[in-house]
Amino acid sequence: MSILVISEHSAGGLKSSTLNCVTAALKLSDDVHLLVGGSDIDNIVQMASQIAGVAKVIGIDTPALDHQLPEVFAPVIAELAKGYSHVLAPASIFGKNILPRVAGLLDVQQISDVMEIISPTTFKRPVYAGNAIATVESKDTIKLMTIRMTAFAPASVSGGSASVESGNSSSLGAEGQSKFIKAELTKSERPELPSSKIVVSGGRGVGSAENFSIIGQLADKLGAAVGASRAAVDAGYISNDYQVGQTGKIVAPQLYIAIGISGAIQHLAGMKDSKVIVAINKDPDAPIFQVADYGLVADLFEAVPELTSKV
C-alpha cells in the first residue's frame, strides 16, 4: 500500500500543510510518496526529500504548472493516483480547489477534512460546522482525502532521505482554459495564522480598522498571529485572509485570545480545539464565555492595552 501526498508550496518553499499531510499519510503506510508539481521546483524537491518518513519524491517541473491550475494539474494527479491506495492533500484552499477535481476525473467520492484515521477505509470528519463528528467508511478503491491540518502534528523537516524521481507529465491538462492574472498577497511580519502557537483575534466589538491596531499590538507583544471574526472582516477592519471559522481558517493554537467576539457557532468551529481559550468581552452573557478557559468581562479598549503592557 503506497500513499501519495500532493505537496503545497510557494516560491518561499514547502508549506507546513504538507508536513501535516505526511504525518497523516504515515498513519496509513510506511511507503509515502510526495508529488511536487510546479516550475523551478528543484529546491522544493530537495526540501521534500528531507522530510522524515517520506520514501520518494516525484517532481514534475514544467512551466505549465506554474500556478498549479487545477485544469492542468488535476489530470496528472489522476493518472498518477492509479498506482496508490490513498491520495492526500491539505484541507487548505489549495487542496480544496484541486483534489475534488481529481475525484471527478477518477469517479471517486472524496472524503473532506479528515481529522482522524481509524483504519485504511474508515475516517472521522467534522460536519455541521464541527457540531457533529461523522465516522465514515469509504468503498472506493482509491481513497482521496483532504487533511485537516490542525488534527495532525507536522512531520519533521529533516532526517529523511527520500529518493527523487521526475514524474510523467504526459497527462497534463490543456492550457488556456484558465489564465493566472495576478495575486495580491497580504504582507505580514507576524507568524502565519494556521501554524502560530498564539492567536489574538478581534471581532465586531473592536469597532473600526484604526482600532484594530490594539489587536495587532497585543499580538506583537506575544509573538502571535492575528485573527478575526467574519463580522470584523465584513466590516472592513481587516482583510478576508484573517477570518477564523467554519468558512475561514481552522486554528488550534496553544493560546487563543478572542476579543470583542460574541462566539457564534460558525466562529467556534474554527477555534474551539485551541488548548487554552481566553475571551475578553463586555457582555457577561456572550456565548464565547461558554468555551473560554479564562473569561474577562471588561471593555476591550481598557483591558487590551493593559494586557499588552503587562505580558
Partner 1 sequence: MKILVPIKRVVDYNVKIRIKPDKSGVELTNVKMSMNPFDEIAVEEAVRLKEKGQVSEIVVVSIGPDKAQDVIRAAMAIGADRGILVKTDVPTDLGGVEPLAVAKILKSLIEKEQPSLVVMGKQSIDDDSNQTGQILAALMGWPQATFASKVVIESASLALVTREIDGGLETLQISLPAIITTDLRLNEPRYAALPNIMKAKQKPMETISPEDLGIDLSPRLTLLSLEEPATRSAGIKVASVDELVDKLKNEAKVI
Q: Which residues bind ligand FAD (CB under 6 A)?
A: 203-205, 229-232, 243-248, 260-262, 264, 266-267, 270, 281-283, 286, 299-301
Q: From partner 1, ligand FAD, none, which one binds at residue 270 (CB under 5 to 8 Å depending on kind)?
A: ligand FAD
Rounded distance between C-alpha atoms, residue 288 and residue 185, angstroms: 31
CB of 225 to ligand FAD, least distance (A): 15
The verdict on 295 binding partner 1 (CB under 8 A) reads yes
CB nearer to ligand FAD: give 16 or 262.
262
Q: Report how far apart, in Å, the C-alpha atoms of 127 and of each of 207, 210, 266, 291 are.
A: 32, 36, 12, 19
CB of 56 to partner 1, least distance (A): 26
The verdict on 209 binding partner 1 (CB under 8 A) reads no
The residue nearest ligand FAD at its CB is 245
Contacts of 11 (CB under 8 A, 6+ apart): none
CB of 227 to ligand FAD, least distance (A): 9
Rounded distance between C-alpha atoms, residue 138 and residue 118, angstroms: 12
How many Å separate Cα 41 from the centre of its chain? 21
Of positions 22, 117, 198, 226, contacts partner 1 by CB under 8 A: 198
How many Å separate Cα 78 from the centre of its chain? 22
Q: Per CB under 8 A, which region of 18-26, 31-39, 55-63, 234-242 contacts partner 1?
A: 234-242
Cα angle 235-95-135, degrees, rounded to a multiple of 5: 95
The verdict on 98 binding partner 1 (CB under 8 A) reads yes
Cα angle 171-176-182, degrees, rounded to a multiple of 5: 115
DSSP 8-class letter at 121: S
Pairing of strands 13-14, 122-127: unpaired
CB nearer to ligand FAD: give 164 or 297.
297
Of positions 97, 169, 211, 217, contacts partner 1 by CB under 8 A: 97
Residues 237, 208 contacting (CB under 8 angstroms): yes
Selection from 241, 225, 149 nearest residue 191 by Cα? 225
Rounded distance between C-alpha atoms, residue 46 and residue 274, angstroms: 33
Pairing of strands 2-6, 86-90: parallel
Rounded distance between C-alpha atoms, residue 259 and residue 162, angstroms: 45
DSSP 8-class letter at 150: G
Rounded distance between C-alpha atoms, residue 268 and residue 245, angstroms: 6
Q: From ligand FAD, partner 1, none, which one binds at residue 227 (CB under 5 to 8 Å depending on kind)?
A: none
The verdict on 181 binding partner 1 (CB under 8 A) reads yes
The verdict on 171 binding partner 1 (CB under 8 A) reads no
The verdict on 263 binding partner 1 (CB under 8 A) reads no
CB of 241 to ligand FAD, least distance (A): 12
Q: Per CB under 8 A, which region of 32-40, 42-50, 81-89, 138-146 contacts partner 1?
A: 138-146
Quick one: cell of 233?
472582516
Contacts of 310 (CB under 8 A, 6+ apart): none
Number of residues that bind partner 1 (CB under 8 A): 88
Q: From ligand FAD, partner 1, none, which one binds at residue 281 (CB under 5 to 8 Å depending on kind)?
A: ligand FAD
Show contacts with partner 1 in window 18-47 (CB under 8 A).
none
Q: From ligand FAD, partner 1, none, which one binds at residue 285 (CB under 5 to 8 Å depending on kind)?
A: none
Q: Per CB under 8 A, which region of 33-41, 158-166, 202-210, 300-308 contacts partner 1?
A: 300-308
CB nearer to ligand FAD: give 7 or 262.
262
